[in-house]
DNA sequence: TATTGTTATACTCTATAACTATA
DNA sequence: TATAGTTATAGAGTATAACAATA
């Protein structure tokens, strides 16, 4: 049962016999798995008229509490993008009537963002479908194996971040 | 030892208590880890005047055998992008003198691509540095743990692809 | 002066479609 | 007709820098 990464490792082995390319086995699979997952999730998003970055914003707003408003700066931090990218995402979402912007009463320079009723309805419809896709992706692994995977990834993440 | 993903899960737990968001623990960490790794690898590439896609092409050429030429179609397959994207990548690499294109003697329609001496030198310098970065990223895990991680990722990949 | 947020701008990357040349 | 590869084009997404308003 060889996969694409196995073939690549064999090529390296043949071409550069002295080189220890074993890290590629792990990181190569990680990258390719992430890419594959991304494209599978994209299918679910599309069924709801969303894409990954739109879902990201709406989900962040939903989980931050239906009755709260959050600032563009917080959104930027959550999504690891610039505040300018956030402004441009919000422009689109606002045009579609999915989010609303209001002046921040505590800071005249600021803005607060929240889901509209339409936006809330949309993300609440998409979320269970999204989770179902994630569950399907992970289904080849037992619960314990999923937990082990999360733990190993967390150990790398701690060091990387 | 809570991380970003833990915080997100707690938010969901609070806001949607009935919802089983456990798949997010795994897939969220996988996505974020992949992103972090990507940005760390980018640093190494940059030190050699490369980026991920450039490295990708040069490494594919190197491991396919120094004395062989490969077709743009093969490059597209390896990198999972369109042949048009390959042509545009090759234009840049050719302009920098890192790859050479020649007519395919066996097929008048075709092109064959190979590393130039300069390109070979560059990728052979970058490769050990790249592997060192990958090793550093994986260093929090023992050899066995790295193997276990690769295996778990492979099990997901098999199902996804 | 520093900070929040938006916009103007430019850049990078990509895929689709049109095109050339050959099979 | 089908295929290999390139180019022209347009679209998506981003960040940097400039800007306005307020702290």
Q: Domain spans of chain B?
A: 25-160
Write out which nucleotides of chain C lie closer than 7 A to a protein Cβ: 3-8, 13-17, 21-23
Check pLDDT > 80 for residue A52.
yes
Query: CATH class for domain B25-160?
Result: mainly alpha
Q: Which pLDDT score is estimated for B157?
A: 77
Contacts of B141 in chain A (CB under 8 A): 152, 155-156
Check pLDDT > 50 for residue A82.
yes
Query: In chain B, pLDDT over 70 holds for what percent of residues?
Result: 96
> What is the C-alpha to C-alpha distance for residues B21 and A64, in angstroms, rounded to an integer?
15
Query: CATH class for domain A36-160?
Result: mainly alpha
**Chain B residues 3-62 within 7 Å (CB) of strand D:** none
Quick check: helix, strand or coil at residue A50?
coil
First-residue to last-residue Cα distance in chain A: 34
Q: Which of B109, B107, B108, B111 is nearest to B99 (CA)?
A: B111
Check pLDDT > 90 for residue A158.
no
What tens digit of pLDDT does each residue of B37-92 get? 998 999 999 999 999 999 999 999 999 986 789 999 999 999 999 999 999 999 99
B27, B74, B128, B160, best to mutate vs chain A, most A CBs in 10 Å:
B27
Residue with tokens 């990722």: B153
Check pLDDT > 50 for residue B161.
no
Angle in degrees, 0-180, between the axes of helices B22-47 and B52-63, rounded to the nearest 10 = 80
What pairing do the DSSP bridges indicate for beta strands A99-103 and A111-115? antiparallel
User: How many angstroms separate the CA of residue A81 from the nearest CA in chain B?
Assistant: 12
Structure token digits, residue A72: 């563009």
Return the minimum-mean-pLDDT range out of A135-144, B18-27, B151-160: B151-160
The mean predicted confidence, pLDDT, of chain B is 93
Given pLDDT bands bounded at 50, 70 and 90, which one contains residue B113?
A: very high
What tens digit of pLDDT does each residue of A22-35 get? 999 999 999 999 98
Check pLDDT > 60 for residue B125.
yes
* Cβ(B41)–Cβ(A96) below 8 Å: no
A156, A158, A161, best to mutate vs chain B, most B CBs in 10 Å:
A156
Q: Which of A151, A27, A146 is nearest to B3 (CA)?
A: A151
Given pLDDT bands bounded at 50, 70 and 90, which one contains residue A1?
A: low
> What is the C-alpha to C-alpha distance for residues A68 and A61, in angstroms, rounded to an integer?
8
């Amino acid at each position: 049962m060889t996969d694409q990464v196995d073939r690549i490792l064999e090529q390296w082995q043949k071409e550069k016999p002295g080189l220890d390319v074993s890290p590629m086995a792990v990181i190569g699979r990680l990258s390719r798995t992430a890419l594959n997952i991304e494209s599978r999730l994209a299918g679910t998003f599309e069924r709801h008229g969303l894409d990954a970055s739109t879902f990201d914003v709406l989900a962040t707003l939903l989980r931050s509490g239906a009755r709260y408003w959050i600032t563009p700066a917080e959104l930027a931090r959550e999504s690891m993008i610039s505040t300018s990218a956030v402004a441009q995402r919000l422009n689109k979402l606002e045009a579609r009537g999915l989010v609303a912007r209001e002046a921040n009463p505590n800071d005249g320079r600021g803005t607060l963002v929240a889901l509209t009723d339409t936006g809330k309805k949309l993300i609440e419809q998409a979320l269970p479908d999204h989770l179902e896709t994630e569950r399907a992706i992970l289904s080849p692994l037992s619960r314990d194996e999923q937990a082990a995977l999360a733990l190993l990834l967390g150990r790398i993440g701690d060091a990387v971040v």
